[in-house]
Amino acid sequence: MIDHSEDPLSTLLTVIRLRARIYNHETYCGEWKLDSPQEPRASFHLLASGRGRLTMLETGLEVSLRGGDLVLLPRNTSHRLCGEEGEGFTTLLCGYFEFSFGSANPILDALPDLVVIPMEDPQSCAQLMALSGLLLAEAEQARNGSRFALDRLAEVLFVMMIRRYLERTAETGGVLAGLADRRISRALAAMHREPERAWQVETLAKMAGMSRTAFAQRFAKLLGQPPLAYLSSWRMLLAERWLTEERLSVAKVAERLGYGSETAFRRAFKRSRGTGPGSFRRRMGMS
């Protein structure tokens, strides 16, 4: 049996509500170009076959792509895809990743503007290749339920891309760096599992199997903030979801998160989000 409570990435994705949407599946021939839509959402491109080139319009950075390569743009930074000179047919599948909850997104914030995952190592990329193939087959056949299936498969693709990024990238930061560290990830899982607990750095350090000083330094180096600051930010993400999706009262949210009083929670929320929980709920269209 899989213990999902020990999987902080799954917990994060559940709270911020990952949703995917396929918006383009085309085959191009000869010279072609496709500019990125100005959408404030993470985007991805799967070059199914042929060759292409991606250009980051703000910096001029160019990346050559070949069949099987995946591209993730966490902030959908302005970019252009085009065909390589002399290349024949090129098939492209494009989609968006959206997150329904959280004014802050710790996963996307930890990623660079461009992530390219080349299919150069078939053995280690076996799962990702199989999933990409399934996506393309579903897009080409357009059977009953294909729209739903495509979007759900794309959500799994996001998880696989993040996993692959962590395996390939030695230098990363933010919550992804914490997830990639075997010891720090245990402390993250504990905070995710019991956000209401009055955690102390010493206790978290013991869970990570480290001394207090080594743990605090390692955590701050990887995530860019102290352990208890991360705990506070995690609590605020949960508060946003519980206030809007579950429509819990402010008092109930404060209780769930372990605050000693509703007033203490209100102060913490306003300090983090710049507005009180009631105003936040109204801004999100909730009564």
Q: Which residues contact 124 (CB under 8 A, 6 or more apart)?
A: 167
What pLDDT was estimated at residue 122? 59
CA dist 242 and 252 (Å) reads 9
Q: Which residues contact 217 (CB under 8 A, 6 or more apart)?
A: none
- Architecture label for domain 181-283: Orthogonal Bundle (1.10)
CA dist 278 and 257 (Å) reads 16
Reply yes or no on whether the pLDDT at 4 is more than 50.
no
Enumerate the domain spans of the chain: 4-168, 181-283
Q: Give the residue-averaged pLDDT of 147-166.
A: 91
Q: Which of 49, 54, 118 is CA-nearest to residue 89?
A: 49
Reply yes or no on whether the pLDDT at 216 is more than 90.
yes
Q: Give the residue-averaged pLDDT of 76-84.
A: 91
Number of Cβ within 10 Å of residue 265's Cβ equals 24
When comparing pLDDT for 14 and 187, which is higher?
Answer: 187
CA dist 12 and 26 (Å) reads 33
When comparing pLDDT for 173 and 237, which is higher?
Answer: 237
Reply yes or no on whether the pLDDT at 2 is more than 90.
no
Number of H helices, E strands in the chain: 12, 9
DSSP codes of every residue in 221-237: HHHSS-HHHHHHHHHHH
Reply yes or no on whether the pLDDT at 201 is more than 60.
yes
Q: Give the residue-averaged pLDDT of 162-185.
A: 84
- Whole-model pTM: value is 0.81
Whether the CA torsion 141, 142, 144, 148 is positive or negative: it is positive
CATH topology of domain 4-168: Jelly Rolls (2.60.120)
Reply yes or no on whether the pLDDT at 243 is more than 50.
yes
Amino acid at 268: A
Rg (CA), the chain: 21
**Helices (DSSP H) in 29-173: which residue ranges?**
106-109, 126-141, 146-168
Q: Give the residue-averaged pLDDT of 3-19.
A: 76
Reply yes or no on whether the pLDDT at 195 is more than 70.
yes
CA dist 95 and 158 (Å) reads 11
